[in-house]
């Protein structure tokens, strides 16, 4: 039976407590920081999409220069605090640490990064000075990681920025789309406020592109426009029974959990999650932590091809989630309009596809899972209708760009998930930096031409 308020407030608090607790004292941070070899040409920095100088910020921690450490991080990644909680560091900086080659535990870079940045946010340390206003105005669509990153880097240079955000809060994926045990809504709000504290950035909430504003209107009011509206449409299963009560998409499920609170979100007794990306893991683990008795993740390939990391998979398995490999949804059966069973087709792996992953092929065998809730997490789709309606060159809804952020419309730039189709938060932050650089160049060129 699907119902909410399954657990006590104390149980919710335990289940959704910080999965990666911060350091509790400075000595623990110093011990880890002093293990760093401060590599020349450091592989950890090379593997960071935003190129944070990892050895430098860790060295600054060892010398008690915490403000300097935070400045080093934020100079490359203004969302460095959030990224320290949600980045898949096992395949980025920590995965590149030379200690991995020595069969020793890598430096806990994310935890050290969190140590410095959280102190900066808690103390509201003003580490950057905004240049005097240039009088130039830029509109940004979307107050997610890409939009906030672009806004900060523009404002720092004296450009006045207005962000148009369709939700009632800023943060995008960080605020609405990530497991609550990784980042809390309160932390997201603090991080956004810290970014805005540089000044020169105004956010207009509940303003959606294509409904409340258009690109043409923004072009008429601003010197340039940066699009960072992300992705967010759940990919449909296209199977019979998909519209039965109890079948929901992971994006909406996580959104409700983040916006309404744990006790308000209904969850089933027996839940099936379709897919094995990061969103699928977040949906599965949170369903279990909301009180679901049984959660089964259905994935059409094998563990070797899974898109999530092993660390994420381990979280799900430790939470008691079951895995059904080489299986794909065929039909959702129901009674009285409610989902009761999920029929799955057994798959086998065929030849590799264009990406090198072996393609799943259907067999004649099926099996059935008893369910009262099915969560669709088989990927996200771009806002194709929105993009097509704005005359932007695109590939199946993904905005096409040149030189990292230049769109087909003069003076309009884009970055983040609306361009790449959905990658990591840290990739969106870098896209925002690239976008700011392109916008500044465009504004400077136009100013020169005007004279």
Task: Render pLDDT for 294-338 as a digit per residue (tens, 0 to 9).
Answer: 999 999 999 999 999 999 999 999 999 999 999 999 999 999 999
Whole-number pLDDT of residue 271: 98
Q: What is the pLDDT of residue 451?
A: 56
pLDDT confidence tier of residue 359, bands split at 50, 70 and 90: confident
Q: Are 412 and 128 in contact (CB under 8 A)?
A: no
Residues facing residue 445 across a β-bridge: none
Reply yes or no on whether the pLDDT at 355 is more than 80: no
Structural domain ending residue among the three candidates 379, 397, 412:
379
Percent of the chain with pLDDT over 90: 91
Distance CA 115, CA 24 (A): 10
Identify whether residues 157 and 210 lie together within a single domain. yes
pLDDT in the model for residue 389: 86
Condensed to tens digits (0 to 9), the pLDDT of residues 403-442 reads 999 999 999 999 999 999 999 999 999 999 999 999 999 9
Supply the pLDDT for residue 450.
66
Q: Between these two residues, 1 and 164, which has the higher pLDDT value?
A: 164
Residue-averaged pLDDT of the chain: 95
Residues 6+ apart with CB under 8 A from 236: 242, 376
Q: What is the pLDDT of residue 108?
A: 97
Based on the domain organization, do 57 and 180 belong to the same domain? no
Q: What is the side-by-side strand order in the sheet with 327-335? A: 327-335, 338-352, 358-370
Q: Which of 356, 379, 402 is the last residue of a domain?
A: 379
Cα separation, 82 vs 170, whole angstroms? 13
Instruction: Report the length, in residues, of the chain.
Output: 451
The token duo for 78 is 């203004």
Q: What is the mean pLDDT of residues 163-183?
A: 95
CATH (domain of 45): 1.10.1060.10
Kindly state whether residues 72 and 177 are assigned to the same domain.
no
Is the predicted pLDDT of residue 356 greater than 90, yes or no? no
Q: What confidence tier does 220 reach under pLDDT thresholds 50, 70, 90?
A: very high
Give the pLDDT confidence score for residue 337 in this predicted structure.
96
Distances in Å between the Cα of 42 and the Cα atoms of 54, 193, 253, 256, 279 are 8, 32, 40, 41, 31
How many CA atoms does the CB half-sphere of 269 hold within 13 Å?
A: 8
Residues 309, 281: contact at Cβ < 8 Å?
no
10 Å CB burial of residue 413 (0-12, 13-18, 19+) is buried
Q: Is the model's pTM score more than 0.85?
A: yes
Query: How many domains would you assign to the chain?
Result: 3
Between 233 and 183, where is the model more confident? Answer: 183
> 94: domain range?
20-122
157 and 171 share one domain: yes
- 266 and 292, same domain (yes or no): yes
Please give the Cα distance from 38 to 32 (Å, whole number): 12
User: pLDDT tens for residues 5-34?
Assistant: 999 999 999 999 999 889 988 999 999 999
Identify the helix (H) or strand (E) that includes residue 381.
strand 380-381
Residue 102 forms part of a structural domain? yes
CATH number of the domain bearing residue 159: 3.50.50.60
Angle value at C-alpha 289, between 269 and 334, nearest 5 degrees: 25
DSSP string, 294-353: EEEEE-SS-GGG-SS-HHHHHHHHHTT-EEE-SEEEEEEEEETTEEEEEEEEEEEEEEE-
Domain termination residue (choose one: 363, 379, 395)? 379
Average pLDDT over residues 179-189: 93
């Amino acid at each position: 039976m699907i119902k909410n308020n399954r657990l006590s407030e104390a149980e919710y608090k335990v289940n959704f407590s910080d999965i990666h607790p911060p350091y509790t004292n400075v000595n623990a941070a110093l011990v880890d920081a002093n293990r760093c070899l401060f590599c020349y040409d450091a592989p950890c920095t090379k593997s960071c999409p935003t190129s944070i100088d990892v050895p430098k910020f860790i060295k600054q921690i060892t010398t008690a220069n915490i403000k300097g450490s935070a400045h080093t991080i934020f100079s490359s990644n203004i969302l460095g605090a959030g990224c320290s909680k949600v980045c898949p560091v096992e395949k980025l900086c920590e995965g590149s640490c030379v200690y991995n080659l020595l069969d020793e535990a890598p430096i806990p870079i994310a935890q050290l990064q969190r140590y410095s940045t959280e102190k900066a946010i808690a103390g509201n340390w003003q580490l950057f000075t905004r240049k005097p206003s240039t009088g130039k105005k830029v509109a940004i669509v979307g107050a997610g990681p890409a939009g906030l990153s672009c806004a900060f880097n523009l404002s720092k240079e004296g450009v006045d920025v207005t962000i148009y955000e369709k939700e009632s809060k800023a943060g995008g994926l960080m605020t609405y789309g990530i497991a609550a045990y990784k980042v809390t809504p309160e932390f997201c709000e603090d991080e956004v406020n810290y970014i805005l504290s540089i000044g020169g950035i105004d956010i207009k909430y509940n303003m959606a592109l294509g409904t409340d504003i258009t690109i043409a209107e923004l072009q008429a009011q601003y010197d340039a426009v940066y699009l960072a509206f992300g992705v967010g449409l759940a990919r449909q299963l296209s199977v019979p029974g998909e519209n039965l009560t109890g079948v929901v998409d992971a994006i909406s499920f996580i959104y409700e959990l983040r916006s309404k609170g744990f006790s308000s979100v209904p969850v089933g007794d027996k839940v099936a999650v379709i897919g094995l990306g990061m969103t699928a893991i977040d949906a599965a683990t949170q369903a279990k932590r909301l009180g679901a008795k049984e959660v089964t993740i259905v994935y059409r390939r094998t563990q070797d091809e899974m898109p999530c990391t092993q660390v994420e998979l381990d979280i799900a398995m430790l939470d008691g989630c079951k895995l059904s490999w080489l299986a794909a949804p065929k039909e959702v059966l129901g009674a009285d309009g409610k989902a009761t069973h999920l029929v799955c087709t057994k798959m086998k792996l065929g030849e590799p596809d264009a990406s090198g992953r072996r393609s799943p092929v259907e067999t004649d065998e099926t099996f059935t899972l008893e369910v009262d809730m099915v969560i669709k997490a088989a990927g996200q789709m771009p806002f194709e209708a929105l993009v097509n309606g704005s005359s932007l060159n695109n590939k199946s809804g993904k905005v096409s760009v040149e030189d990292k952020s230049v769109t087909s419309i003069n003076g309009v730039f884009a970055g983040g998930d609306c361009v790449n189709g959905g990658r990591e938060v840290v990739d969106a932050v870098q896209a925002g930096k690239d976008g700011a650089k392109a916008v500044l160049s465009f504004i400077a060129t136009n100013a020169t031409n005007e004279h």
